Amino acid sequence: MPDPGGIQTESSKTPAPELSLDSRAVQALLLVLSITAGCTDVISFLGLDGLFTAHITGNLVILAAHIVIRDQASIAPMLSVPVFIVVISLTRVLAGRLESIGISALRPLLFLQFVLIAGFLALCLAAGRRIDPNATNAIIAGMLGVSAMAVQNALVQFSLKGAPPTAVMTSNVTRFAMDIGELLAGDNPAAVADARKNMARTLPAIIGFAVGCAIGAIAEARFGLRSLILSAALALFAYVLGFAV
């Protein structure tokens, strides 16, 4: 029964349709995002004195090691963890606001990621071939990269619910290995079917990240931080794929 006052209540709103994770467009987007994360992570690691942009766990390990041995820690790894947390929280708020006014958050967040990676690239290009990782411009550039990967982590969880992570491979490899074990056990047909489906979704993310790391490492060795052009191009491609999704 319609509301007599003409006001649409929360319970009467039509829920937004969920995206099919098995569609070719979504699978292509997840693959491109995985390649982007691997490429960006390895380029920043090699070019900015060991800064992980996607692998925050690595930054925690480096920071803890410096503290324990009482060595001077770089500023960027120390800032990366709080920056990552803050950006993910703000991204979640932004996505919720967009959805509340009827705008799908996927494409805006993909565009935001592209802008952040483009800013990362621009600052590195402006600094020249020999950039001091502890210089202010290098630290800001690195935090833009960290922010881009934070946005990517948030958008996958918010807009592509149920999809495997595209920038954190530990959970993907664990899930994949568990599914292999389920197949080998073979004592539950339903669980085996779910394991096959999970493997089909997880394996492209693992391969994509590995390919991105390989491409990024080769490019960084040859072109330095200018190779972030690859990351920016991949992020732009992901944004274009967002329209197909």
pLDDT digits (tens, 9 = 90+) for 180-227: 999 998 888 888 999 999 999 999 999 999 999 999 999 999 999 999
Contact 16, 150 (CB under 8 A): no
Query: CA-to-CA distance for 201 and 19, rounded, in angstroms?
Result: 14
pLDDT band at residue 26 using 50, 70 and 90 as cut-offs: very high
75: tokens are 């500023």
Q: What are phi and psi of 196, to 5 degrees?
A: -60, -40
Contact 117, 40 (CB under 8 A): yes
| pLDDT on residue 16 | 52
Reply yes or no on whether the pLDDT at 149 is more than 60: yes
Write the class of the CATH domain 24-244.
mainly alpha
102: alpha, beta or left, given left = phi > 0 and alpha = psi -120 to 50?
A: left
Contact 242, 29 (CB under 8 A): yes
Please tell me the pTM assigned to this model: 0.87
Residue extents of the structural domains in the chain: 24-244
Query: CA-to-CA distance for 118 and 236, rounded, in angstroms?
Result: 9
**What is the pLDDT of the chain when averaged over all its residues?**
88
Query: CA-to-CA distance for 231 and 33, rounded, in angstroms?
Result: 10
The average pLDDT across 24-30 equals 94
Contact 54, 40 (CB under 8 A): yes
Q: What angle do CA 74, 75, 78 make, to 5 degrees?
A: 100
Reply yes or no on whether the pLDDT at 10 is more than 60: no
Reply yes or no on whether the pLDDT at 74 is more than 80: no
DSSP state letters, the chain = ---TT-PPPGGGSPPPPPPPTTSHHHHHHHHHHHHHHHHHHHHHHHHTTS--SS-HHHHHHHHHHHHHTTPPPPHHHHHHHHHHHHHHHHHHHHHHHHHHTT--SHHHHHHHHHHHHHHHHHHHHHH-SS--TTSHHHHHHHHHHHHHHHHHHHHHHHHSTTPPPSS-HHHHHHHHHHHHHHHHH---HHHHHHHHHHHHHHHHHHHHHHHHHHHHHHHHHHHGGGGHHHHHHHHHHHHHHHHH-
The distance of Cα 16 from the centroid of its chain, to the nearest Å, equals 23
